[in-house]
Amino acid sequence: MQRMLHNIKGLSRTSFMCTVLLIAFWLFCLSGCVSKREYGAALKELHYCEVDNFVLQERVQSLNTEKGDLDAQLRSERKSAEVAHALYQNLVSGLESELSSKQVEVEHMQSGVTVNLPGAVLFSTGSAELSKSGKEVLFKVGNMLRDVPYQTVVAGFTDNVPIGGMLAERYPTNWELAGARAARVVRLLEEAGVARNRLLAVSFGENQPEASNDTPEGRAENRRIEIRLRPIVVEE
């Protein structure tokens, strides 16, 4: 921004010099002490200066437009950051008991706010049906998100244990299981009043683990649902 202002000031000084040159030229001509050749050379120089002045004025206008666009972008980003911070504070305040009992975790990210929910709080092992406690937590979260004009991305994650037994007939791989869990959470958030055109279900399967899958504790940490709230206004 400072560089842009400096450029504008520099262009203004150049335009001023052209104006000075114009005045000097006419005074020179009025004095009568000028040959035909000198007159033609001075006229040509003045023409070039006028062209340069026109180009410089166009550049100044372009820079002023760019400055206005940057100012608008900065205002938009500042407003977005304020909305995200307010949303984070509201979620932390409204989910205080769930945060204390580690049923939920709220993170203020640079791109928005993320609500993390352990899979054990929401589902039984190998199931995509929400538990009673899971529904209660999600309804509480959904009620707080109804008036938030953000895109709500529900991402499902699993551990790397292959699906086995009869369960594999319904969920051949962890992709299907994570996707079914994400879709079930999306349906409940819609029931809680979150606009359906702001909801999106995504499956990550066993990818992007939070911890090592070599221990039961790590696998439990990897089985999770993330509700990612991103400041993307969707047309109603």
Mean pLDDT for all residues in the chain: 81
pLDDT at 236 over 70: no
pLDDT at 107 over 90: yes
Q: pLDDT (tens digit, 9 = 90+) per residue, 179-230?
A: 999 999 999 999 999 999 999 999 999 999 999 999 999 999 999 999 999 8
In the chain, where are the structural domains located? Answer: 2-79, 95-230
**CATH code of the domain occupying 95-230:** 3.30.1330.60
pLDDT at 3 over 70: no
- Residue owning tokens 């911070």: 85
- Residue owning tokens 């008991």: 97
Cα radius of gyration rounded to whole Å, the chain? 32
Supply 172's token pair.
């051949």
pLDDT at 18 over 80: no
Supply 186's token pair.
């999306």
* pLDDT (0 to 100) of residue 82: 82
Report residue 84's pLDDT band, with 50, 70 and 90 as the boundaries.
confident
The beta-strand segments (E) located in the chain are 105-109, 112-118, 151-157, 199-205, 224-230
Q: What's the rounded Cα separation, in Å, for the pair 157 and 175?
A: 8
Report residue 154's pLDDT band, with 50, 70 and 90 as the boundaries.
very high
* pLDDT (0 to 100) of residue 126: 82
Q: Which of 13-17, 67-71, 96-100 is predicted least confidently?
A: 13-17
pLDDT at 4 over 50: no
